[in-house]
Structure 1
Amino acid sequence: MSANPQVGSFTVRNASFAYAQICYVLHWCAFIYAMGFLIDFVAPTGVDSGLPASLGYSITIDVSLALLFVVVHWIMAQQRFKDAWFRLIPAALERSTYVLVSSVLLISIFLMWAPIPMVVWDVQQQGARVLIFSIYWLGWLLAIGATFPINHWDLFGVRQAYLLLENLPQTEAETADSLLYRYIPHPIFVGYVVVFWSTPHMSVGHALLSAIMTALVIVVVWGGH
């Protein structure tokens, strides 16, 4: 008789729930880091902080990091990948693992990003700067707030792991009717795009990251993932 615990055992179900919670906490670490990284505020590194390297090196590093994030997202959204992945982990942990990989890739971008300081625009007027920063934070509020009507806990994999913990069937998550989704198409992604581009000081490096991430949003929305 094998000593390895089965997927449905109490030990594995508890470990799975703990894993989902760790992935969820890591997601918030990446999100909070992103809030400071994009405007060079408080975070250990920023999109324009650090010593700039040669233009060719910086572009190579930055494009590679951003494209790795994009390509991994595309691969993990493919059904053939999901079918193979389910042979290795319980289906209830798919979303948590997606959250984990996304968070690790985001943090890698933040830690390894090479600044390209050439200026695209630089707003100096104080009132305009306050307005732009207000739009920036409203973008984050929209992106995060819009996760709750479609079941925040399901979106980040916690609900699925809880159902596994309680040995309950994996059911479709309940969603709430929301004015956000009634009047704003894809409000989570709209919030992200607002965040990427709302800055009073736009460097070439910041614009490069924003352009690649905006392209990813367009592909995701167009592909229905």
Structure 2
Amino acid sequence: MKHFALLLLGLVSYLIGLGTLVVMLFWLYPWSWMPTTIDSGTPRFPALLAVAVDVGLIALFGLQHSLMVRPGFKRWFERYVPAQAQRSLYTLASAVTLAAILLFWQLLPGTVWDFRGGIGFWAMTLLYFLGWGIAVAATFQIDHFGLFGLTQAWRAFHGIPEPPERFQEKGFYRFVRHPIQAGTLLGLWATPHMSTGHLLFAAAFTLYILIGLHFEEKDLIKTLGKPYIDYRKRVPMLFPLRIIF
């Protein structure tokens, strides 16, 4: 019964987590047919208060997203939650905090650039989908279902122990160390309509990603050791500079 509950939790968390991410991709882009986007609605608060609310929402997501993957938190969490369920609960908590951003985001006045028309629109749209496409594809080049906790739940259901973590270098990971984050950054900034609110969203998430990667790199060195240290020396973190130049 316990293993079935873990599997059910893993499946539900995966569907909710994936669904919330898909909604965010549509919410972030200026689709005319979407009932709500990052730039829809009317301002409800003065600009400074709206900025404070938006920054607070992103900070809440960032704290949850970063804190729950830290080794110290995981050790504490294992006292109360089976290890096989931790990633599923992380996915579920991430979906909740991301949904809070989508639901309570406050509209900000002002436009930074607007390419909705002509070649600029198509160029930005292409880069938008390219960025998010890279991010999604990169998850499958490691363990997409494990990233969301479904693999761990499936192993628990069948009584299969978790394999030891090992270093892998394939696909996009041969060119940048963090292609998921690299694709996400491209998707965040490539928009035909950059409003003030979208700029705040992109800038705050960029800062969060850079801070998160700083701590993630430290954890990877501790976990993987010399293979990852050598990998850092050979492969750039986010941008394939050796290919560009």
TM-score, length-normalised on structure 2?
A: 0.82
1:35 is matched with which residue?
Answer: 25
Report matched runs for 1:36-185 at 5 Å.
36-41=26-31, 42-53=33-44, 54-172=46-164, 177-185=169-177
Per-residue CA deviation, residues 141-194 of structure 1 (Å, 9 max, x unaligned), is 100000111111211111111111011212136786523111233110001101
Tell whether the 8 Å contact from 1:48 to 1:205 is kept in structure 2 after alignment.
Answer: yes
Whether 1:199 aligns to 2:215 is no
State the 4+ residue runs in structure 1 displaced beyond 3 angstroms: 172-177
Tell whether the 8 Å contact from 2:10 to 2:88 is kept in structure 1 after alignment.
Answer: yes
Per-residue deviation, 1:124 = 4.3
Identity of aligned residues (%): 32
Q: 1:92 to 1:20 in 2, by over 3 A?
A: same
Q: How many residues align?
A: 215
Per-residue deviation, 1:125 = 4.2
RMSD: 1.7
Q: 1:35 to 1:45 in 2, by over 3 A?
A: same
**Separation in 2, partners of 1:16, 1:223:** 29
| Letter of the 2:214 counterpart | W
Tell whether the 8 Å contact from 2:138 to 2:171 is kept in structure 1 after alignment.
Answer: no
Higher share in helix: 2
TM-score, length-normalised on structure 1?
A: 0.89
For structure 1, which runs of at least 5 residues remain unmatched after alignment? 1-10
For structure 2, which runs of at least 5 residues remain unmatched after alignment? 220-245
Q: 1:14 to 1:223 in 2, by over 3 A?
A: same
**Separation in 2, partners of 1:138, 1:67:** 27
2:5 is matched with which residue?
Answer: 15
